[in-house]
Structure 1
Amino acid sequence: MSQRKYFGTDGVRGEVGGPTINPEFTLRLGYAAGQVLARQHNPIRGRPTVVIGKDTRISGYMLESALEAGLSAAGVDVLLAGPVPTPAVAYLTRALRLAAGVVISASHNPYQDNGIKFFSAQGMKLPDEVEEQIEAAIDQPLGCVGSEALGRARRIDDASGRYIEFCKSTFPNELDLSGMKIVVDAAHGAAYQIAPHVFRELGAEVFPIGCQPDGFNINEGVGALHPEAMIAEVQKRGAHVGIALDGDADRLQMVDQAGRLYNGDELLYAIVRDRLAQGEVAGVVGTLMTNFGFEKRMKAMGIGFDRAKVGDRYVLESMLQKGWLYGGESSGHLLCLDCHTTGDGIIAALQVLTAVRRSGQSLAETVGDLKMYPQEMVNVPLQPGTQWESHPGLAQAKERVERELNGRGRVLIRASGTEPKLRLMVEAEDLQLAQQGVRELVAVDLTKR
């Protein structure tokens, strides 16, 4: 894959008013994407159509208008879904047989940021070669088709309703949530109108928080990044469980009635354990950060396990290559390909609740046989040009720590993707063993070879 100029691993993202997230660039991006999609589209099916969804950031209106104008200028029809979760756009793209879907969101970032990402007609990320074609077209002169070929735009009035029904369809017909008190925290984000309805319509008594967006408060003190608000509300209401999403609702955190927070590894385990009780589970994909205890438990259950690079994009790629249905990240991006084509916080929560309801156990009991290993991680500064991968002292220290662990843990050394730091992590059955291992790694002087 060639070096990207604009697209990162999750579309184009940045500060509003910066070099990419501004009206002019967004107009060009819409026009470039429209040209590429129009070239690939079969004319027998009529004009290509794209759906645009967004979260609740104030800049969403501006970027939506610019994208709409660019796509229309390229001869592409546009459907405007308004504020809906990222996975809702993936669903609508597939369900309406569209050429592509576009999401305007910066996920868990503060309101000053925004981003634009695309879904293919299959409800998955665009293939790399298509993104590269769009990149190549962005810097070309902006044009416009003739008036008779301009794209039209209209709003989808029932986008939220369609997606609510889709989410509910992933919960078993023979089960319901009656008698459950659930706190639902939508992070003042894209799911604020949707998430409470899903759980309420399945029978739960819902206490919504983070459902009053004002354009500026997305992810502010609420949601998956700040579960303290959800924990406090669960305890205040005496709720059985709390569900927290992030700004675009593709990430999940949950808490039980005792106030204990469950991360993505534990929630994924609850889902996999339930699916295994219903039939065969071939394998599960985690990431480099997935807890070693999860890996050991999968092997003990006879389930394949593989680690992908950090990022739900890489998890999905590995799942598709292996033909496996379940995967996720410790951060709460969970994928169940027997339900949806992409990570979905609401649907993941419903699968966890399916496990709880079907087993008759509490969330704590459902994951009770998963032993999470203590983790110790230290970030050390990384000087420019440091070849840490081939540093003999670091390699020797890693081998020494792994011998000491003797299969009772693991060592992970990786460079940060966002700052000049090296992350040194050790997981072990015993916290002191993990701490001792990290101390040995930190003692290596990377400036000397």
Structure 2
Amino acid sequence: MRKLFGTDGIRGKANVEPMTSELALRLGRAAAYILHRGKSRPKILIGKDPRISSDMLEAALSSGIVSAGADCIRVGMLPTPGIAYLTKALEADAGIVISASHNPFDDNGIKFFGPDGFKLSDETEEEIEKAIQTSAEGVLHPTGIYIGRMIDIADASAQYQKFLQLSVENMDLSGSSILLDCAHGATSHIAPELFSQLGARIITLNNKPDGTNINLDCGSMYPELIGDAIREHKADIGFCFDGDGDRIIVVDENGQVIDGDFIIMACAKHMKETGELKNNTVVITVMTNLGFHIACRETGIIVRETGVGDRYVTEEMLNCGAVLGGEQSGHIVFFDHHTSGDGMLTALQLLKILKETKQPASSMGTTMKKFPQILLNVLVKEKPPLEDMPEVQKAIQDAIDILKDSGRVVVRYSGTEMKCRVMIEGEDDGQITELAQGIAGKIEERIGA
């Protein structure tokens, strides 16, 4: 059973176990050790977001990789989906992203991609973890010419940007006015350049990373904060990215927030109409709003549901042959273009749809009726199985019995943080708030931090 890897790699407080340079060094060696099987000299690509601890972890990982006889290809600050793309494009044996996504600056994380651009399988992550636990990674100590090299790729950002432009055949955005909130993260430099080169007028916010301001009251976690700027600048649309650029939330021309459910629904409907929605299927998670399911039923779109996490979405997309999937949080995957959720690619696909249909951004908000939904996050000190807490189970069952068929209850632990999430949907705001608070209270009493 994995102890280091969560649903999205390894994550934690930077310079505190497990997110230390000591662990990163061993992790780099372990990755090189596992990849050495059948390879005389593996290539491992590394990119990062701009948080202050990323340089520290990059140095340790890189040292571990080359000390075990693999070459380390460094691409600098780049969004997570850029690492996924370049890992495959540059024929690397693995890609590593140093980022804690939407978390605060003092957290950081390490996640892996395989040579095909998909996240590493649970089995391979378990092998890497086992190599660390058994100190097997310390076996490799090459000398002389067999020590690995550091290779810096100066045009990595340009290569990724060209890929994004080609995904929409260098679409002309002349006459469009776009506001970008880069969350002081990995999209801070590349996003304004990308949309400007396609001809759009760009208004850019939060694109001055200093290592400590990533995600700070900005980006995809706070899209409601750019409504005034949208109206002030008379922008046609706003895109809010998270720290590592793999998710996006949209704000329309009126300043209204459009989350991942609406984005996926708008894309699914258009792709169905144009014959691009393979198998007439879309993949979403248990957190997707009930209104999405109803809208799909009405339009004849098949829905496949997974647990929370974009890796589970992509796994199910592969299983059922879907080309579109994603999460309410804004991870959207277009298999016709990429193996990973990609905020900028999603933005381009949306702009293409709006241009083809000659509709404003606000039209996306009419694609489904959103049911009232409340999400509470309870800080916890441990994560025992929920079924082992009778008082919590009773509160959950009571809520289910009250809502019957007119709502949903989802209670789960975060895969990346010490939190338990309580999500309830229903027809009455007051009722679902009271029920969610009741469940959250029982969780807090038992395991609250």
Q: Name 1:193's counterpart in structure 2.
A: 189
Alignment deviations for residues 316-366 of structure 1 (CA, whole Å, 9 cap, x no partner): 111111111111111111111111001001001111111111100112124
Matched-pair contact (CA < 8 Å) for 1:425–1:438:
yes
* Structure-1 separation of matches of 2:345 and 2:61: 28
TM-score, normalization by structure 1: 0.89
User: 1:442: how far off?
Assistant: 8.9
1:243 matched to 2:239? The reply is yes
Alignment deviations for residues 404-445 of structure 1 (CA, whole Å, 9 cap, x no partner): x4xxx33223233355757251323x5467568769989999
* Structure-1 separation of matches of 2:238 and 2:184: 16
Q: Name 1:54's counterpart in structure 2.
A: 48
Letter in 1 for 2:387: Q
* Structure-2 separation of matches of 1:396 and 1:346: 41
1:264 matched to 2:260? The reply is yes
Matched-pair contact (CA < 8 Å) for 1:326–1:337:
yes
Q: Name 1:153's counterpart in structure 2.
A: 150
User: 1:400: how far off?
Assistant: 3.5
Q: Which consecutive residues of structure 2, in runs of 5 or more, have no partner in the other structure?
A: none
Letter in 2 for 1:401: I
Q: Which has the higher helix share?
A: 2
Write out aligned runs for 1:197-346 (5 A): 197-281=193-277, 282-346=280-344
Task: Say which SS state the counterpart of residue 79 (structure 1) adopts.
Answer: strand
Letter in 2 for 1:414: V
Q: Name 2:5's counterpart in structure 1.
A: 7
Q: Pairwise CA RMSD of aligned residues?
A: 2.7
User: 1:247: how far off?
Assistant: 0.7
User: 1:371: how far off?
Assistant: 1.2
Taking only the aligned residue pairs, the percentage that are identical comes to 39
* Structure-2 separation of matches of 1:446 and 1:104: 32
Q: Name 1:427's counterpart in structure 2.
A: 426
1:387 matched to 2:387? The reply is yes
1:71 matched to 2:70? The reply is no
Q: Name 2:402's counterpart in structure 1.
A: 401
1:117 matched to 2:111? The reply is yes
* Structure-2 separation of matches of 1:420 and 1:249: 23
1:144 matched to 2:138? The reply is no
Q: Name 2:346's counterpart in structure 1.
A: 348
Letter in 2 for 1:331: S
Q: Name 2:88's counterpart in structure 1.
A: 94
Letter in 2 for 1:49: K
Alignment CA distance shift 1:134-1:235 (3 Å): same
* Structure-2 separation of matches of 1:87 and 1:440: 39
Letter in 2 for 1:48: P
Letter in 2 for 1:371: K
* Structure-2 separation of matches of 1:211 and 1:23: 27
Alignment deviations for residues 234-285 of structure 1 (CA, whole Å, 9 cap, x no partner): 2221111111111100010111121101111011112112211211522111
TM-score, normalization by structure 2: 0.89
